[in-house]
């Protein structure tokens, strides 16, 4: 006669749900880097998950576990730009802050990847409302977060008057350099251009 006490029962191990696997951050970063490189090399229209995976040195499954499609992948990366932003200059003067901001922004816009990716995404945005919304959010919030802090600091120092037009201030700060670097894509800025732009923008902001 056998009893339940004669042999202890072992509980079967529970298998982790398929979606519970931990996504390695180094793989995620490799994929993100590959997306920018692939965008710069072939553009959004010709970009493929296969090409991204090959450039990142991973399988397609690794990409699809993180993003459903190349559209969602690009939207995620573009949206992340708004969060990262640029460091806020703190030189003690409005003109000094603007000059440092322009130097940092100009350097970023001249990067080979950025100089190819941004115009391509702008062209794609004309056909895809989701990309248009994400790109506008990234560009506007990325600059607005820095520009608003610069003008608020200048207001606190008494360099510009209270109650200035915040939207117009953002246009004055961001417009000229973006126009020259991204729209007409000037290959090289004239000597002293950033210093002159900072001085002229500071005077324009004081006149608001």
The encoded tokens of residue 49 equal 């998950």
196: three-class secondary structure by DSSP: helix
Q: Which pLDDT belongs to residue 9?
A: 46
Residue 176 to residues 6, 33, 108, Cα–Cα distance (Å): 85, 29, 15
Q: Which pLDDT belongs to residue 94?
A: 96
Residue 43 to residues 51, 61, 101, Cα–Cα distance (Å): 12, 22, 28
Q: Which pLDDT belongs to residue 83?
A: 53
In what helix (H) or strand (E) does residue 106 lie, and over which residues does it extend?
helix 94-109
Sequence-distant (6+) residues with CB within 8 A of 69 are 49
**pLDDT averages per 10-residue partition of the chain, 208 residues:** 46 46 85 88 89 95 91 78 71 96 84 72 83 77 80 94 89 89 80 95 94
Q: Which pLDDT belongs to residue 20?
A: 44
Q: Which pLDDT belongs to residue 65?
A: 93
- Distance (Å, whole) CA 36 – CA 14: 40
Residue-wise pLDDT tens digits, 43-67: 888 899 999 999 999 999 999 999 9
Are 154 and 97 in contact, with CB atoms under 8 Å apart? yes
């Amino acid at each position: 006669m056998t009893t339940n006490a004669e042999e202890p029962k072992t509980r079967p191990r529970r298998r982790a749900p398929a979606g519970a696997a931990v996504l390695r951050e180094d793989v995620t970063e490799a994929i993100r880097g590959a997306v920018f490189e692939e965008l710069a090399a072939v553009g959004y229209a010709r970009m493929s998950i296969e090409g991204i995976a090959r450039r990142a040195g991973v399988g397609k499954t690794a990409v699809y576990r993180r993003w459903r499609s190349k559209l969602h992948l690009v939207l995620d990366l573009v949206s992340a730009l708004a969060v990262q932003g640029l460091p806020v200059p703190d030189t003690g003067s409005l003109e000094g802050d603007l000059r440092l901001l322009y130097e940092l922004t100009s350097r970023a816009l001249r990067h080979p990847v950025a100089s190819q990716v941004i115009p391509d995404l702008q062209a794609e945005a004309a056909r895809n409302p989701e990309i248009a919304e994400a790109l506008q959010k990234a560009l506007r919030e990325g600059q607005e977060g820095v520009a608003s802090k610069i003008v608020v600091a200048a207001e606190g120092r008494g360099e510009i008057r209270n109650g200035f037009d915040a939207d117009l201030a953002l246009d004055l700060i961001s417009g000229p350099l973006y126009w020259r670097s991204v729209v007409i894509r000037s290959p090289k800025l004239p000597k002293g251009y950033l210093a002159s732009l900072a001085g002229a923008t500071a005077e324009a902001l004081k006149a608001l």
